[in-house]
Structure 1
Amino acid sequence: MRIAVTGSSGKLGRATVDRLRSEGHEVAGFDLTGTAGVGFTRVDLADYGQTLDSMIGVTARHEGLDAVVHLAAIPVNGLVPDAATFQNNMTVSFNVVHAAMRAGIRRIVTASSITAMGFPFDEPPAALPIDESTTAANNTYALAKVAEEAMWAQLVRWEPEMSISSLRFTNVVAPDEYGTFVNASDPAYRRDLLFSYVDSRDGAAAVALALAHATPGFEIYDVAASDTGSAVPTAELAALHFPGVPLRPGLGEFETLMSIDKARARLGFEPEHLWRDGYAAHQLRA
C-alpha cells in the first residue's frame, strides 16, 4: 500500500516507517521536522489546506494514498501550556482524519494513549488488568485523546467503508533506552503507567497489524508489552498499590496490568521485545 505516516520523525514514527517499508509498503512521512528526501514531506498538519493537499498528492512524493497512520502530536503535557496541548492535538487530529476522508482514504490507524484510561491512576481502576472498556482523562493531553476517540466513532458513521483503529499506546521505549530500567526493582517504578511499557518495534508491529486487519468501523486496542516493566511480581504490585482491586485469576508472574487480550485475539499482536532481554543487552554493552 501507499501509506502516509504523520509524526514520522518521532520515536514511534521512525519505527513505524521502518516496519512498513520492511513489509514492502511505499511510505510517505509527514512531519514538521525530518530528513529531506523521497520519503519525507514537511507538512504543517495544523493547517487544513496543507493537510488536505498532502493527502491528495505531493509532486515527486506520491499521487494518492491507500492508508494513513496518524501519530503526530504534542506528546505530553508540559511542553506547551495545557490549553495549547489540547487545542493543537485536537486540531491536527481532526485535520488529518477529515482530510483523509475527503481524499477518499478509508483505512486509518491513529495513536491514542494509556492516558485515556485514567493515567496516573490516582483513582484505582475497577479491576486489573485494565482494558479498553475504561475511559478517563485527567489532563489536557488525555482529554484530547478521549475526545478524538469519540470523534472517530462518529466519523465512521459518515462513511460506511471507513476503518479507524485507535491504538492506546503505553510509554514507548526505544531499543537504546533500556538502561532506564535500572530502577525496575523499585516497587514504585512506572506505577503511574500501571508498570507498563512497549518497545517501539512492537508498537510499530501493532500499527502494521491494525492496517492489515482493518475492517469497517471504529475499534480501540490497548498496546503494551506482555510483561510489566518491573522486577516485582505483578500480584505484589497490585496488592501494594491497588489494595482491594479485583485481580484476574491466573495472572502470570510478571504479566502486564494493561490488557492486550483484544489486540492478541483480533490482530494477532504478540510483543517480541521485552525489557529483561533489552536491559541485559544494554548491561553487556555498558
Structure 2
Amino acid sequence: MIIGVTGSEGKLGRATADRLRADGHDVIGFDLAGPAGVGFTRVDLTDYGQALDAMLGVTARHGGLDALVHLAAIPVNGLVPDAATFDNNMSVSFHALFGAVRAGIRTIVSASSITAMGFPYEVAPPRLPVDEQYTAAFNTYGLGKVLEEQLAAQLVGWHDDLSITALRFTNVVDEGEYDTFARAAEPDYRRDLLGSWIDARDGAAAVSLALAAARPGFEVYNVAAPESGTAAPSRETAERWFPGVPVADDLGEFESLMSTRKIRERLGFTTQHDWR
C-alpha cells in the first residue's frame, strides 16, 4: 500500500515508517520538519487545506493514499499551555481524519493514549488490569484523546467501508532510553503509567498489525509491553498502588496493569524487546 504517516519524525513515527517500509509498503511521512526526499512532505496539519491536499496527492510524492497512520500531536501536557495543547491536537486530528475520509481513504490507524483511560491514576481505576472498556480523562491532552476516539467512532457511521483503529499507546521508549529502567525497583516508579511502557519498535509492530487486520468500523486497542516496567510482581504492585481495587484472578506474575489481552488475542500482538 501507499501509506501516509503523520508525525513521521516523532519517536513512534520514525519507528512506524521504518517498520511499514520493511513490510513492503510505500510510506510518505507528513510532519512540520523532516528529511528532503521522496518519502517525506512538510505539512502543517493545523491548516485543513494543507491536510486535505496532502491526502489527495502531492506532486513527485504520491497520487493518493491507500491508508493513513495518524500519529501527529503535541505529545504531552506542559509543552504549551493546556488550552493550546487541546486546541492543536483536536484541530490536527479532525483535519487528518476528516481530510482522509474526504480523500477517499478507508483505512486509518490513529494514535490514542493511556491518558484516555485514567492517567495519571490519582483516581483509582475500577479494576486491574485496566482494559479498553475504561475511558476517563484527567488532563487536556487526555480529554483530546477521548474526544478523538469519539470523533472516529462517529465518522465510521458515515461510510460502511471505513475502518478506523485507535491504538492507546502508553509511554514510548526508544532503544537508547533503557537506562531509565535502573529505577524499576523504586516503589512508585511509573505509577502514573500503571507501570506500563512500550518499545517504539514494538509500538510500530502494533500499527502494522492494525493495518493488516483493518475491518469496517471502529476499534480500540491498548498498546503496551505485555510485562510491566516495574521490578515487583504485578499483584504486589497493584495492592500497593490501588488498595481494594479488584484484580483479575488470572493476572500474570509480571503482567502489565495496562491490559494487553485484547490486542494479543485478536491481533496476535507480541513484543520483541524487554527491559529485563
SS in 2 for 1:219: strand
What is the aligned partner in structure 1 of residue 137 from structure 2?
137
- Report the alpha carbon displacement of residue 223 of structure 1 after superposing the two structures with TM: 0.3
Cα distance between partner residues in 1 of 2:182 and 2:59:
48
Match status 1:70 vs 2:70 = yes
CA-to-partner distance for each residue in 1:114-161, whole Å, 9 max, x for gaps?
Answer: 000010101111110000000000000000000001111100000110
TM-score for both structures, normalised by structure 1: 0.96
SS in 1 for 2:226: coil
- Report the alpha carbon displacement of residue 268 of structure 1 after superposing the two structures with TM: 1.2
Letter in 1 for 2:155: L
The 5 A counterparts of 1:193-208 are 193-208=193-208
What is the aligned partner in structure 1 of residue 213 from structure 2?
213
What is the aligned partner in structure 2 of residue 233 from structure 1?
233
SS in 2 for 1:158: coil
SS in 2 for 1:92: helix
More displaced 10-residue stretch of structure 1: 266-275 or 215-224: 266-275
The 5 A counterparts of 1:274-285 are 274-276=274-276
- Report the alpha carbon displacement of residue 250 of structure 1 after superposing the two structures with TM: 2.4
SS in 2 for 1:110: strand
- Report the alpha carbon displacement of residue 248 of structure 1 after superposing the two structures with TM: 0.7
- Report the alpha carbon displacement of residue 251 of structure 1 after superposing the two structures with TM: 1.5
Identity %: 67
Greater per-residue helix proportion: 1
Alpha-carbon RMSD across the aligned residues, in angstroms, is 0.6
SS in 2 for 1:165: strand
Cα distance between partner residues in 1 of 2:14 and 2:196:
21
CA-to-partner distance for each residue in 1:63-83, whole Å, 9 max, x for gaps?
Answer: 110000000000000101100
CA-to-partner distance for each residue in 1:219-271, whole Å, 9 max, x for gaps?
Answer: 00000001110111111111111111111112211110011111112111112
Number of aligned residues: 276
The 5 A counterparts of 1:1-286 are 1-276=1-276
Unaligned runs of 5+ in 1: 277-286
Cα distance between partner residues in 2 of 1:225 and 1:160:
33
Report runs of 4+ in structure 1 exceeding 4 Å deviation. none
Unaligned runs of 5+ in 2: none
More displaced 10-residue stretch of structure 1: 87-96 or 249-258: 249-258
Cα distance between partner residues in 1 of 2:238 and 2:266:
27
What is the aligned partner in structure 2 of residue 280 from structure 1?
none
Cα distance between partner residues in 1 of 2:34 and 2:189:
33
SS in 2 for 1:97: helix
